[in-house]
Amino acid sequence: MNHDQRLADQLRQTSEDFAALLARYSALERRHESLAATHAQLVQASQALAGGDEPARRQAAHTLFDATWHDELTGLPTMALLSHKAEQQIAQAWQGGARVALLAIELDGVLPLADSHGAGVLDAVLQASANRLLQVIRGCDLLARSGPHSFTALMVGPKTDEDLAPIAQRLLGALTQAMPLAQDCLQPAAHIGCAFFPRDGTDLPTLLDHAAVALSVARLEGGNCCRSYSMGMPDRLQPLAG
């Protein structure tokens, strides 16, 4: 390869890296705007609770409850609600109740859609992905949105990888189905990392951390797979994919 070709390849890679950074910046900017709007709603609701009439206080209480427990875009529970439920399930598991598993679920390659197709298309993909996951999640489980393109699932009952494998594969299958996008068609990729109580941790923060480590390993292995945490996995997490 001659000097000019190497220089052209470097410039192309730099351009691609810059485009990826711009896409991430745009996504973070939209997230900031959404959080600012939510903050304004919460401030208004707090003021109504402090000095409004009875109907206004009821509406304000509803607004505060909804903002705390449910994600505005997908309607899924927030991590605050999942954490609350998970702590309850772990306490019951200590007393001999059903075992618990935490799944960290990540979509790959969707954030640049905001620049290539518009923010509305990215939102539609996230909403469709949430709905696909809900079609698979059992009634005893709980799915929450945990990041711009990630979800966390609280699974009740699985004790081993063999117990969890069928539902994990259904979750991956649901997320990776082709998704029509106006004149185009998106082929999503996804990764899942899981951690079991009590094998991989006996408290929620540890289980979440270990599920995230397993997710990082699944991503490094090429994606579209599920990996369970093991002691030999690295503690350093890879950066989130786009």
> Is there a single domain that holds both residue 27 and residue 48?
yes
Looking at the domain assignment, is residue 32 inside a domain?
A: yes
Tell which of 49, 69, 89 closes a domain: 69
Query: For residues 184 and 117, is the Cβ–Cβ distance under 8 A?
Result: yes
Domain count, the chain: 2
CB neighbours of residue 26 within 10 Å = 16
> Is there a single domain that holds both residue 172 and residue 86?
yes
> Is there a single domain that holds both residue 178 and residue 125?
yes
> Is there a single domain that holds both residue 36 and residue 106?
no
> Is there a single domain that holds both residue 206 and residue 130?
yes
> Is there a single domain that holds both residue 85 and residue 54?
no
Looking at the domain assignment, is residue 137 inside a domain?
A: yes
CATH, residue 180: 3.30.70.270
Looking at the domain assignment, is residue 233 inside a domain?
A: no
pLDDT in tens, the chain (242 residues): 576 677 777 777 676 555 545 545 544 454 555 555 555 555 555 665 566 566 655 554 444 445 567 898 999 999 988 999 999 999 999 999 999 999 999 998 777 766 666 667 888 889 999 999 999 999 999 999 998 889 999 999 999 999 999 999 999 999 999 888 767 788 889 999 999 999 999 999 999 999 999 999 999 888 899 999 998 887 645 444 44
> Is there a single domain that holds both residue 40 and residue 118?
no
Looking at the domain assignment, is residue 154 inside a domain?
A: yes
Question: Which residues constitute the domain of residue 34?
Answer: 3-69
Looking at the domain assignment, is residue 236 inside a domain?
A: no
> Is there a single domain that holds both residue 109 and residue 161?
yes
pTM value?
A: 0.71
> Is there a single domain that holds both residue 115 and residue 42?
no
> Is there a single domain that holds both residue 212 and residue 177?
yes
Q: Residue 21 and residue 15: Cα distance in Å, rounded?
A: 10
Q: For residue 188, what pLDDT is reported?
A: 86
- For residue 60, with 0-12 CB atoms within 10 Å meaning exposed, 13-18 middle and 19 or more buried, which class applies? buried
Please name the residue that has the structure tokens 């905001």: 114
Query: For residues 196 and 228, is the Cβ–Cβ distance under 8 A?
Result: yes
Q: Residue 11 and residue 76: Cα distance in Å, rounded?
A: 42
Q: Residue 184 and residue 132: Cα distance in Å, rounded?
A: 20
Tell which of 39, 69, 99 closes a domain: 69
Query: For residues 172 and 192, is the Cβ–Cβ distance under 8 A?
Result: yes
Looking at the domain assignment, is residue 29 inside a domain?
A: yes
Tell which of 69, 95, 116 closes a domain: 69
- Residue 50, token pair as written in the block: 């402090």
Nearest by Cα to 121 from 63, 167, 181, 188 = 181
Query: For residues 175 and 107, is the Cβ–Cβ distance under 8 A?
Result: yes
Looking at the domain assignment, is residue 100 inside a domain?
A: yes
Looking at the domain assignment, is residue 176 inside a domain?
A: yes
Q: For residue 90, what pLDDT is reported?
A: 96
Q: For residue 121, what pLDDT is reported?
A: 80
> Is there a single domain that holds both residue 37 and residue 95?
no
> Is there a single domain that holds both residue 132 and residue 220?
yes
Q: Residue 163 and residue 160: Cα distance in Å, rounded?
A: 5
